[in-house]
Amino acid sequence: MDSQEVGALLDECLKAATGELATPSTQGAKLDYCRYRDLLCVELSSLLQEAVCMKWPFVPEKWQYKQSIHSHDKANLTDLISQHLAELLALLKAAILAREPQCAVAVIFLVDRFIYWTDESSQLLKITMRLHRLHPNTPVAPQLVIRQARVYLNAGKLQKAEFILSMLINNSGATGCWVYQSESDRALVQAVSVQVRGLVLQKLGLWSEAAELIWASLIGYYALPQPDKKGIGTSLGILANILVSMNEEDFSAFKSNSYSDLSILGNRTHRLLAAAEAAKMAVVYSQYASLYVLTNVVSQGTCLLSYSFSMECPAAERHVFLLQAKEAFEIGLLTKTEGEPVSSKQELHTFIKAAYSLGVTHKWLGTPLDAVVQATQACQEAMEKFYTYCHAETRDRDSLSADIMHLVARVKTLFRIKLFPNSNEGSFIPDSYRNVEERPARFTLDSFSQVIGRFRKYHASVCGATEADCSGKTGGLCITAMGTTVRTLPTDCTTENQKTQQDTKDKEPIKEKKPCSSFQPSLVQGCDLATTLGSAEYLSDVGFDKMASKGSDSGSGSSLGSSWQNVSPSCAGSPHLSSDGHAGNIVDVKKNTCHPSCLTTDVSTGESHAALASMDKGRNQGIHGPISDLSGPAGPSPTDDVTSPSHRGSDVDRFEMLETEEDWVGTDAPVGQVGPTGPGGVAHSLSQLNVTSSNSLNDSFGSQSSWEKISSSEPLSPDQPRLPGLSQPATGHGYKPPAHCGSGHPANQPKRSITPPGPGRPTGFVPEQYLTTETSTDSSFEMIENNMDPSDASTLSSTKPISLRKKNTSCYSCLKHSLVNGVVPQRQYVLTQQDYKALLAGVCHQCLMERLQSDRKKFKLEKYRSSHSALHVKFSRATGLWTAKETCVYVGEEMGQEGQQRAALWVQFLHQEERLSSYVGKDYRKPTGIQFHLRDVERQMTSQYYVTEFNKRLYDKEVTAQIFFIPSEVLLLLQGDEIVGCVTAEPFMLGDFVKLTNNTGKKVQGLQATEYGIAFGHFTYLYSECTEVVVDLQGWATANEKGLTYLTDPQIHSIQTPKGPSNFAERGLRYFLEDQHGPECNTICNLLKLPPMKRPKGL
């Protein structure tokens, strides 16, 4: 069956479940049901009966639990299902009409995995939900409940995914009416749930915590009476990807954990070699499933390729590891032959990644450039078609898939890939891979229970943050009962510069004002003006289809006099009734989007120094006016009763169903409404390699290093010190702030054991992360320190030559080369062979800035809906290193909205952490230097480093809340070997966006989430030895003030780095100490026993 036929049959089944089809007579429906059931083959009939009897919580593969595999065991369930999908879906429709819910849900159970890989899960889960509502006592398999969590993860609804997974883990897999046949089945459900939670943390960039969870799932799979080969292989593959991204410090801590017995990986001492071994083991464990072999062998090749560039790789062995990586990518490409249908988004993405990575490997092996160029161009074209595939109608996907695989086949031809010896029919791996040593893993269900117990406190807190209920259900997790009480979050405030302007306009004596450093919550209108404190964006209630084109109508209505006059905390749709009868705003992704973004940056224009001077003068006199007195005429004051039809009812509370029919659109939610114009509209790609170019790869490979020295006019400044605490032992006894900034000691720092953090909890469709937090010029809540232009790089920071500063012992450039031997390229942004090696091995922030910073060259994307070769660069605050991978990026449509400084756009790239998730790129509206993109990422990842330590303190005190900063990365777009563009990228998030604090003295009053934010600022001030504080906190928080909070685009006031437009340095620290935090600690500060903050001398 093709994709269009599958989609049509699922639509008919959904209509049958919703009562939209004409129902035949009861007797006729029964006869049809019996007829279709009898048409099933013997094997499917047996599987269906076992599913009805709840024999297993997950439909097993024949080879999954067997030690000795026979020829008939090598067939995969997906092959059986695909051959008989039409009969199964016909039976599903007949069972629904005949009111045979157990059989209907059992059919859904059987086809679920196949439908998921064909990207049609949203329809199938909608059918499941309808059936459960009509027949609440019908058991729903744990596999389907976890499938919903996976769909939420892919869609960016991490709060909902976390709740489902935590409930399953904490309640031993209880799923309502489902009856387990054994305790080992419960352990299996817990192991899968822990594994998917590991994917959540991987998406957040929390490598250490994710690795701990994945290892816990491995223990669970190994501990079963018959070890789960499929589960083991999947977890090993995920672990390999995590280890690639993890830094050496975290890897060392991970190895030292008492339960992490890495001997099953062969005691590989290097992180990347351990990752490669884990991936190879995953390949062997899953050798009879082509998709799993492809996925894991590409992970193995990526690990080997990365290791070949590491400084630990002996030069004499580098070629060997490149050959091993080449073999791995070739094995993946041979899992399908040209003409075989591929209907999985993940499979297509991984095929393109394998083809592109093979081209990169050949480049470094010295293959003639012409073949490499052609392969690169084929992969770029495939990326364009893949993006179109992801947004295409079902009827168009098959032809697009065939086009993509044809381009992949072209790469195979260019590099003359040959079949490998394989004596095991049905297996997709070569004989050379069968020598993987079977290492004993001595795990028991008791040991798995003990490991799960280490996370129980965290999972219990997540469960407690959401009250589930379901009529007709006595206990456990219900597929439709993830309702949660959600209070409207406040996002309304008058800005500080508005205050100054208003004071000037009205000529009121400043001393008549009263102190005011916070604002009160208020309800605000609709979702057509969703924004945050940091900007004056105006966002309309439009669909993603309207947001796809730049300059789309951003809505008509009121003009935005202030960024805080008209703000929506959520993009709720029309009121709906939840299962318990409460009216709530159910978010319909297709109808409500409001996709602003928080593009905080240290670049800003327009605000004069006089605003801050006036503000300081007011503070010194002890005078501020009440917010209500300062509101401009453009909108209501915070005390006004502002309502709209979608907000009427309770003043502060509303109910939202976590499981609604609208929510079950799943993987299509974030980007399903964005229809690309297709590759035909692209004139040319910025990143196509030009064979005749003087700056081609061939030329650059023959040039000398330019990494250490460039011609630059930027002045020099002192070196940026490392974060205090980096050198502390893993079991540190706490930090001692300097005498000048506080007294006393906080509680001891917890040991570096399992720290079960989790992601934030978005509770609706208001992903405001991508447009709105730069320091704006006219009506921003943030203040601007000086009237500085983004191009004025020299005033923001500078770098000290390598010879004059302390070297980073992990930095390639610091250790491998000297400044004297460096060669200045004629064009600064043409990368040489040594530049590539340095970036791929890892360079410190100072070296990177010295190489790429310029106050002359500025970048701005010229082309959208186009593919690019690129360097995907990540920053680790723990090591201070930037590390790159060569990748291919597709820059999609702009989201139709712009911030004061940056615009948001859809991006996809081959090395993104989650292949099925969406990512958002951020580009400056005006041409800007690369250094500003780098600082944006450095600032966010530094904040993530701080908050990880802060979470350990919260967890130690059994506080049911955790805070996380979503990861941000840099994509350097290339044309040949020249950098021609730069964007930052981060995962797409869904949920209600709230601003907690700004970068001066403002804060949301009355929310406990704000108290956590202020306590976090207090913590960072002490942890940094009174040198910096993280402010401007905004993101996604649960309105009931429990559970998890995601943050993005923070600002940091620091006296460690040069003063800038958003780094107010000493002044910023004063704002936090005196206004935002104030003289008295809040309850969270006191709970954590943080010592009081004192202003350092001279501040």
pLDDT of residue 825: 65
**Among 785, 816, 843, residue whose Cα is nearest residue 704:** 816
pLDDT of residue 623: 28
All residues at 6 or more sequence positions from 906 whose CB lies less than 8 Å from its CB, including other chains: 671, 674, 891, 892, 893, 895, 918, 919, 920, 921
pLDDT of residue 1099: 66
Higher-scoring residue by pLDDT: 786, 883: 883
Phi, psi of 931 (to 5 degrees): -60, -30
Look at the block and give the residue holding tokens 């704000």.
Answer: 1010
pLDDT of residue 620: 40
pLDDT of residue 394: 83
Q: What is the mean pLDDT of residues 967-977?
A: 96
Range of weakest confidence among 711-715, 814-818, 1008-1012: 711-715
Could you give the dihedral angle defined by the CA atoms of residues 996, 1001, 1002 and 1005, in that order, rounded to the nearest 10 degrees? 80
Rounded CA-CA distance 45/38 in Å is 8
What are the tokens at 93? 């429709």
| C-beta of residue 737 within 8 angstroms of C-beta of residue 1029 | no
Cα radius of gyration rounded to whole Å, the chain = 28
pLDDT of residue 862: 85
pLDDT of residue 945: 93
If pLDDT is split at 50, 70 and 90, which confidence band does 746 have? very low
pLDDT tens readout for residues 978-1002: 999 999 999 998 877 888 999 888 8
Rounded CA-CA distance 453/133 in Å is 33
pLDDT tens readout for residues 1068-1095: 999 999 999 999 999 999 999 999 988 7
> For the chain, how long is the longest CA-to-CA vector?
90
Rounded CA-CA distance 354/683 in Å is 26
Side chain identity at residue 768, one-letter code: E
pLDDT of residue 808: 83
Q: Other CB atoms closer than 10 Å to residue 45's CB: what's the count? A: 13
What are the tokens at 740? 């000048």
Rounded CA-CA distance 562/634 in Å is 7
Q: What is the mean pLDDT of residues 526-554?
A: 30
Exposure pattern of 221-234 as b/e (b: 16+ CB <10 Å)? bbbbeebbbbbbbb
Q: What is the mean pLDDT of residues 614-635?
A: 35
All residues at 6 or more sequence positions from 680 whose CB lies less than 8 Å from its CB, including other chains: none
3-class secondary structure for 740-762? Answer: CCECCCCCCCCCCCCCCCCCCCC
Q: Where are the alpha helices (DSSP H) in 842-929?
A: 845-852
User: Does residue 513 surpass a pLDDT of 60?
Assistant: no
pLDDT of residue 158: 86
Q: How many CA atoms lie within 13 A of 1031 on its CB side?
A: 34
DSSP string of 397-413, one letter each residue: HHHHHHHHHHHHHHHHH
Rounded CA-CA distance 560/543 in Å is 21
Q: What is the mean pLDDT of residues 866-878?
A: 95
If pLDDT is split at 50, 70 and 90, which confidence band does 21 have? confident
| C-beta of residue 243 within 8 angstroms of C-beta of residue 212 | no
Nearest-5° Cα angle at 621, 619 to 627: 55
Name the β-bridge partners of 64: none
pLDDT of residue 477: 59
Q: At what angle do helices 207-223 and 183-203 cross, to 10 degrees?
A: 160
**Among 323, 229, 240, 235, residue whose Cα is nearest residue 278:** 240
pLDDT of residue 76: 86
Higher-scoring residue by pLDDT: 520, 241: 241
Q: End-to-end alpha-carbon separation of the chain, Å?
A: 71
pLDDT tens readout for residues 535-546: 222 222 233 333
pLDDT of residue 775: 36
Q: How far is CA 485 from CA 113, 154, 169, 578, 587, in A?
A: 32, 24, 22, 11, 14
Higher-scoring residue by pLDDT: 958, 200: 200
All residues at 6 or more sequence positions from 766 whose CB lies less than 8 Å from its CB, including other chains: 527, 530, 568, 569, 570, 571, 594, 990, 991, 992, 993
User: Does residue 515 surpass a pLDDT of 70?
Assistant: no
| C-beta of residue 257 within 8 angstroms of C-beta of residue 212 | yes
pLDDT tens readout for residues 445-472: 888 998 888 887 777 777 766 655 554 4
Q: Of how many residues is the chain composed?
A: 1099
| C-beta of residue 576 within 8 angstroms of C-beta of residue 754 | no
Q: Is 266 exposed, middle or buried (0-12, 13-18, 19+ CB in 10 A)?
A: middle
pLDDT of residue 27: 87
Q: Where are the alpha helices (DSSP H) in 690-757?
A: 697-701
Phi, psi of 208 (to 5 degrees): -60, -50
User: Does residue 804 surpass a pLDDT of 80?
Assistant: no
What are the tokens at 682? 């692209």
Alpha carbon 146 to its chain's center:
19
Most confident of 14-23, 135-144, 645-654, 775-784: 135-144
pLDDT of residue 748: 38
Q: Where are the alpha helices (DSSP H) in 286-429?
A: 290-309, 318-333, 345-365, 369-391, 394-414
| C-beta of residue 753 within 8 angstroms of C-beta of residue 257 | yes
pLDDT of residue 376: 97
3-class secondary structure for 140-197? Answer: CCHHHHHHHHHHHHHHCCHHHHHHHHHHHHHCCCCCCCCCCCCHHHHHHHHHHHHHHH
All residues at 6 or more sequence positions from 406 whose CB lies less than 8 Å from its CB, including other chains: 338
Rounded CA-CA distance 734/293 in Å is 46
Range of weakest confidence among 124-138, 419-433, 626-640: 626-640
What are the tokens at 776? 């704006």
**Among 466, 534, 957, 973, residue whose Cα is nearest residue 781:** 534
Could you give the dihedral angle defined by the CA atoms of residues 466, 472, 473 and 478, in that order, rounded to the nearest 10 degrees? -60
What is this structure's pTM? 0.76
What are the tokens at 235? 């977890």
Name the β-bridge partners of 584: 576
Rounded CA-CA distance 574/585 in Å is 6
Q: What is the mean pLDDT of residues 765-786?
A: 37
Q: What is the DSSP letter of 363?
A: H
Q: Is 811 helix (H, G, I), strand (E, B) or coil?
A: coil
Rounded CA-CA distance 62/51 in Å is 15
What are the tokens at 578? 């939840």
What are the tokens at 501? 């302007």
Phi, psi of 616 (to 5 degrees): -60, -40
Phi, psi of 985 (to 5 degrees): -140, 145
Can you state the percent helix, strand and coil of the chain, rounding each to 5?
Answer: 45, 10, 45
pLDDT averaged over every residue in the chain? 74
Query: Beta 919-924 vs 978-987: how paired, if at all?
Result: antiparallel
Q: Is 888 helix (H, G, I), strand (E, B) or coil?
A: strand
Q: Is 585 helix (H, G, I), strand (E, B) or coil?
A: strand
Higher-scoring residue by pLDDT: 644, 937: 937
pLDDT tens readout for residues 489-498: 333 333 333 3
